[in-house]
Amino acid sequence: MSKTVLITGASRGIGRACAQVFAQNGYSVAIDYNKSERQALELAQQLREAGCDADCFKADVSKSSEVRALVDWAMGRFGHIDVLINNAGVSLAGLLTDMTDTQWAEVRGVCLDGTVYCCREVLPHMVRRQSGCIINISSVWGVRGGSYESGYSAVKAGIIGLTLALSKEYAPSSIRVNCIAPGVIDTDMSRCYDLTALAQDTPLGRVGQPEEIARAALFMAQSGFITGQVLGVDGGFGM
């Protein structure tokens, strides 16, 4: 029986790369998407054509009822969830004093609430099996804070705190919870920034690629004695 990975926000960027890398390594892949239906359907078809058992489901992770439906679907479709990757996210740049309630609700809802809801729904299934791995995607800004990105930094820091707490709570059930803190990664979400300037600020002299985050996630999924860790994959940007 192959292992199953559930990836939120998997239609594009880091989530899409995670789906591809895990599929290449023998996992069945449950793809969550919200707005990018065409990309999600195309990804699922590509993975199936390559021999992977893959399917997709539309769910807004900021809504607990839709997360519950997502997990129920994944359990019914695949039978078990071995790895959960909480990747869905939105960006928010600007001064805190300019941030509206609506903007704050969106970034908190997708990034932090969504991570909480997904963990809350998946963990009981993992506890019953006394096995499982959760990988939360935070950010270098969650570790060190980013000027002009206070709201985004706050929710990404919250993901780190959640990771550390859950790793202690569920270690007795042999469930591992870890976090990846990417630096500047070449995705649609980051292309509104000056990537050339950010590459110059990165000690390795370039921005990262989504596949590099995906390979780090696979490493964490396959490393049975690692839990409660925050892995910076940032080219030295977070030093």
Per-residue HEC secondary structure of the chain comes to CCCEEEECCCCCHHHHHHHHHHHHCCCEEEEEECCCHHHHHHHHHHHHHCCCCEEEEECCCCCHHHHHHHHHHHHHHHCCCCEEEECCCCCCCECHHHCCHHHHHHHHHHHHHHHHHHHHHHHHHHHHHCCEEEEEECCHHHHHCCCCEHHHHHHHHHHHHHHHHHHHHHHHHCEEEEEEEECCECCHHHCCCCHHHHHHCCCCCCCECHHHHHHHHHHHHHCCCCCCCEEEECCCCCC
CATH code assigned to 4-232:
3.40.50.720
Summarised one tens digit per residue, pLDDT across range 93-123 is 999 999 999 999 999 999 999 999 999 999 9
Which residue in 117, 152, 170, 193 is the catalytic one? 152
pLDDT of res. 192: 66
pLDDT averaged over 10-residue windows placed end to end, the chain, 239 residues: 95 98 98 97 98 98 98 98 97 95 97 98 98 98 94 97 98 98 88 82 95 98 98 90
Rounded to two decimals, the pTM is 0.96
pLDDT of res. 195: 84
Domain ranges of the chain: 4-232
Asked about 152 being catalytic, the answer comes back as yes
Of 90, 34, 107, 105, the C-alpha closest to 66 is 34
Summarised one tens digit per residue, pLDDT across range 198-221 is 899 899 999 999 999 999 999 999
